[in-house]
Amino acid sequence: MADPNARRALRAVFAERERNLLALVAAALALWVARTAGSLSVRYAAYLVLFTVWMAWFVLAAVTWLHYADF
């Protein structure tokens, strides 16, 4: 059985709807640019932006989870 504090922390991570939506929109925009880009360098830059957005979301989600998790 999972720790109830960990579940509460996970719910807090996904309760940040604005941050999650912003990350999703930015990632979708980067993917759209990557798919429609004509040059390889623009495609590479779009994938780099996508990775940066994902990592920023991941780190902020992990910090939020650690903040609410009580071990």
Predicted confidence (pLDDT) per residue in 14-65, tens digit: 888 999 999 999 999 999 999 998 899 999 999 999 999 999 999 999 998 8
pLDDT value of residue 69:
81
Closest listed residue to residue 51, CA positions, set 35, 25, 31: 31
Q: Rounded CA gap, 70 and 5, in Å?
A: 6
Q: Are 37 and 46 in contact (CB under 8 A)?
A: yes
Name the residue ranges covered by the structural domains of the chain: 16-68
